[in-house]
């Protein structure tokens, strides 16, 4: 086999399908986010980022930066080991306590990313509980799917957010068989939200554990930023809450929060927890500061929701087709990978607006979209420029508009 030819032809196929990924090379401007510099070879241009998961701008929050600077000067750069071999620093322990408190759980366990936390926790739980069946929502994130696959446990995929289908699948299993229902609260591509209470009711009825990915909700929802389950008073009914420190909290890392024994079990058996260097102490300190801030400050959450509502209303006003949903994610549907990339390229080149096209396999073919994530740090002028640019592009490219709402 000619290996290089294989790589090249696979990439050619991806390009032909319009699914080849091109990264924008950004230089974030601390204090001026969502504004950044976009590098292209030796030239740079100013851009406004409209697709970041740093939903609240916590990545530049003074409390977070001060905590990180302080910890960096106090502890140095890296943790220096795995958690077991010298890498558990005081800052890791404080962060895990902060997370357990955030979710009202006995304990929490930190991982190097949200991806790793899902992969390791689901892989370990489903893999080690004898005869465990995982009931997985059809739109679960790749990290959950990989964790479940890695566990080699039996897997049943239920239709997205469909309680009847979930119940039919639960009912088809013996009551005594161990079951784990794996799902998300806010689904990040469509922005819809799971019926958490009803899923917990089914879990009780059929004696199942629940595993909830709140990655796109922590920091953003609930009185203290505990997520949708906190907002709905359901945290105590979820067996495992999983989250990230890399999105609304603005830093990096992932975690689970659960009972002390469950966390201890994953700590003791999960390869993806055990055999990797712990996060730098400064990262742990920054994440803890971010969580602490958002536990008491609601200004960011309120401004976030207000910005989202405003952008949505403005898009509706000019007929740009976007999917209504109860969250902060605004999917502007294009439905074609080549067009989606083309619009994104024009936004960047002609308007200094960066919105990454979302294509297959992140979303199903035919549902290619621009995923807009407004934040409290987008100014009125940023919003005006976004709306003006989309308006102009929709005319220039003769894209379909939504029927205008009846007056």
Ligand X SMILES: *Cc1c(COP(=O)(O)O)cnc(C)c1O
Binding region for ligand X (CB under 6 A): 113-115, 118, 141, 143, 184, 188, 213, 215-216, 244, 246, 254
* Selected catalytic residue, list 105, 179, 247, 341: 247
Q: Which residue is nearest to ligand X (CB)?
A: 114
Query: Minimum distance from CB of 245 to ligand X (Å)?
Result: 7
164-199 CB burial, b ≥16 within 10 A, e <16:
ebbbebbeebeeeebbbbbbbbbbbbbbbbbebeeb
Nearer to ligand X, 145 or 346 (CB): 145
| Angle CA 289–292–296, to nearest 5 | 140
Q: How far is 180 from 130, CA to CA, in rounded Å? A: 12
CB of 287 to ligand X, least distance (A): 11
Q: How far is the CB of 254 from ligand X (least distance, A)?
A: 5
Residue 58 or 390 with smaller CB distance to ligand X: 58
Q: How far is the CB of 218 from ligand X (least distance, A)?
A: 11
First to last CA, the chain: 65
Cis peptide, bond prior to residue 361, ω within 30 of zero: yes
Exposed, middle or buried by CB within 10 Å (0-12, 13-18, 19+), for 123?
buried
**Residue spans of alpha helices (H) in 131-235:** 142-151, 163-171, 196-205, 228-231
Q: Between 304 and 394, whose beta carbon lies closer to ligand X?
A: 304
Minimal distance in Å, beta carbon 338 to ligand X?
Answer: 25
Q: Sign (positive/negative) of CA torsion 373, 374, 378, 379?
A: positive
Residue 365 a catalytic site member:
no
How many beta carbons lie within 10 A of that of residue 126, not counting itself? 27
- Whole-angstrom distance, CA of residue 291 vs CA of residue 296: 9
List residues with catalytic annotation. 247
């Amino acid at each position: 086999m000619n290996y290089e030819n294989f790589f090249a032809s696979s990439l050619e196929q991806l390009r032909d399908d319009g699914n080849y990924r091109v990264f924008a090379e950004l230089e974030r401007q601390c204090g001026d986010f969502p504004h950044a510099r976009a590098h292209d070879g030796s030239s740079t241009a100013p851009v406004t980022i409209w697709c970041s998961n740093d939903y609240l701008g916590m990545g530049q929050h003074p409390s977070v930066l001060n905590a990180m600077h302080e910890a960096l000067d106090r502890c140095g750069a890296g943790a220096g080991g795995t958690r077991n071999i010298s890498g558990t620093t005081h800052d890791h322990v404080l962060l895990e306590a902060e997370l357990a408190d955030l979710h009202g759980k006995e304990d929490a366990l930190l991982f190097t990313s949200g991806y790793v936390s899902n992969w390791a926790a689901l892989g370990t739980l489903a893999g080690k509980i004898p005869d465990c069946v995982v009931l997985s929502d059809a739109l679960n994130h790749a990290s959950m799917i990989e964790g479940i696959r890695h566990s080699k446990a039996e897997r049943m995929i239920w239709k997205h957010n469909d309680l009847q289908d979930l119940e039919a699948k639960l009912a088809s299993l013996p009551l005594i068989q161990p079951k784990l229902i794996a799902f998300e609260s806010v689904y990040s591509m469509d922005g819809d939200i799971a019926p958490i209470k009803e899923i917990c009711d089914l879990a009780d009825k059929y004696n199942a554990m629940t595993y909830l990915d709140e990655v796109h909700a922590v920091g953003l929802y609930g009185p203290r930023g505990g997520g949708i389950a906190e907002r709905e008073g359901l945290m105590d009914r979820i067996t495992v809450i999983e989250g990230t420190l890399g999105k609304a909290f603005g830093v990096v890392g992932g975690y689970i929060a659960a009972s002390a024994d469950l966390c201890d079990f994953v700590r003791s058996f999960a390869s993806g927890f055990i055999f990797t260097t712990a996060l730098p102490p400064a990262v742990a300190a920054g994440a803890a500061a971010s969580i602490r801030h958002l536990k008491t400050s609601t200004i960011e959450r309120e401004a976030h929701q207000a910005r989202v509502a405003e952008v949505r209303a403005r898009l509706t006003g000019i007929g740009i087709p976007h999917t209504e949903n109860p969250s902060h994610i605004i999917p502007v549907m294009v439905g074609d990978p080549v067009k989606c990339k083309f619009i994104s390229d024009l936004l960047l080149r002609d308007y200094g607006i960066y919105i990454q096209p979302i294509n297959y396999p992140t979303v199903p073919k035919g549902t290619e979209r621009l995923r807009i994530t407004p934040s409290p740090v987008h100014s009125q002028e940023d919003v005006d420029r976004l709306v003006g640019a989309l308006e102009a592009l929709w005319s220039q490219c003769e894209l379909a508009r939504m029927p205008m709402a009846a007056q």
